[in-house]
Amino acid sequence: MSRIRLQHGFLLLILQVTWLPVFAAAQETDPLFNELELLDCVIDPSETAELGSHIPGVLQSVKVDRGDFVKAGDVIAVLESKVDMASLELARTRVSLTAEIELRRANAEFGERQSKRIEDLYKRSMVSSKEMDQTQTETKLTQLQLNQALDNQKLAELEYARAQAVVDRHTIRSPITGFIMDRFKTLGEYVDDQPIVRIAQLSPLNVEVIIPVEQMGKVEKGMLADVRSDAVDQTWQATVSRIDRVADVASGTYGVRLTLDNPDYEIPAGLRCKVSFISQGNVTETQTASVTQSTYHSIEQVSVSKNLSAEEERSFVDHH
């Protein structure tokens, strides 16, 4: 029985050693093990914004045109704001007026001095308690009037800030750094809910790839890929940043997005391209070598076991 078990063990090990190179070769030729085939892709802007206005109005000026480069915060257009500008100037003037505060402060200081004099006279019984009470009340009123003037000053500052915010809404600024793709409005046109310009952010770029669902799981986030466009005859390297988790039933595909750095804006957007994903090292070769080493180690152990079993069998026969 032990001899039969050893024969079966040797047979399994021989099969492993024989078919292991075939299995490794299959990994190189079978598309399930090899790299993804060359896939079609499109290079798109990472962000596209159609910029409009918070409020309706007539365009006083449009400071950009198609193809212009803008930074985040740059002025794109300005709406007419004569009425709001007048309100802003009025609020600014109110903030700058300090005569009322100075008047109330002078009255409060005089009331303090007057109250001290009356209090001193009252201690020497030279004025009645009625006059003392009247003086203290007037002093308190002057202090309250000063506080009221200071509160009015704070309200005037808030009104000025509000008027400034209203005027700022007439100034339309770019939310991103990029290039003007289209200009839809010009000087003198009325703007309500229509866009004025369209802006595209070109650093970084997005590379959109459609992959068959049969190859799902072969692409991982952070994976590198070579992106080539025949239109400009150049190749770049991009990184997988997003993978769709829901496939399209009709086409049997799912989407993958790669991020392509473009700090100098040398790569144009709107190009068709081909993408080739780069394998993640020599993982397969390492696993194959490990299995081979384990197999030969098992052969050695079985050989030792066979020798020991043979000696035990001869000893049993001699004994009987």
Does 224 reside within a domain?
yes
What is the residue range of 208's domain?
A: 32-47+202-283
Does 180 reside within a domain?
no
Q: Taking a C-beta distance cutoff of 8 angstroms, is the pair 185, 191 a contact?
A: yes
Q: How many domains in the chain?
A: 3
Does 55 reside within a domain?
no
Q: Which helix (H) or strand (E) holds 250?
A: none
Q: Both 87 and 138 in a single domain?
A: yes
212 vs 155: CA distance, rounded Å: 64
Helix (H, G, I), strand (E, B) or coil at 202: strand
| Tokens coding 176 | 């991103």
Please tell me which residue, 26 or 85, carries the higher pLDDT value.
85
pTM for the whole thing? 0.64
Please tell me which residue, 31 or 113, carries the higher pLDDT value.
113
Q: Both 256 and 288 in a single domain?
A: no
Does 66 reside within a domain?
no
Q: Both 87 and 148 in a single domain?
A: yes
Helix, strand, coil shares, percent, the chain, to 5? 45, 25, 25
- Per-residue model confidence (pLDDT) at position 216: 87
Q: Max Cα separation, the chain?
A: 145
| Average pLDDT of every residue of the chain | 82
Lay out the sheet containing 171-173: strands in order across.
171-173, 75-79, 57-62, 190-191
Helix (H, G, I), strand (E, B) or coil at 99: helix
Does 111 reside within a domain?
yes
Q: Are strands 197-212 and 253-260 parallel, antiparallel or unpaired?
A: antiparallel
Does 56 reside within a domain?
no
For the segment 246-302, what is each residue's pLDDT rounded down to a tens digit? 999 999 999 999 999 999 999 999 999 999 998 765 334 434 444 444 444 444 444
Does 63 reside within a domain?
no
Does 177 reside within a domain?
no
Q: Both 101 and 158 in a single domain?
A: yes
Q: Both 98 and 135 in a single domain?
A: yes
236 CB contacts (<8 Å, ≥6 apart)?
Answer: 226, 227, 228, 260, 267
38 vs 255: CA distance, rounded Å: 15
Q: Both 91 and 162 in a single domain?
A: yes
69 vs 65: CA distance, rounded Å: 9
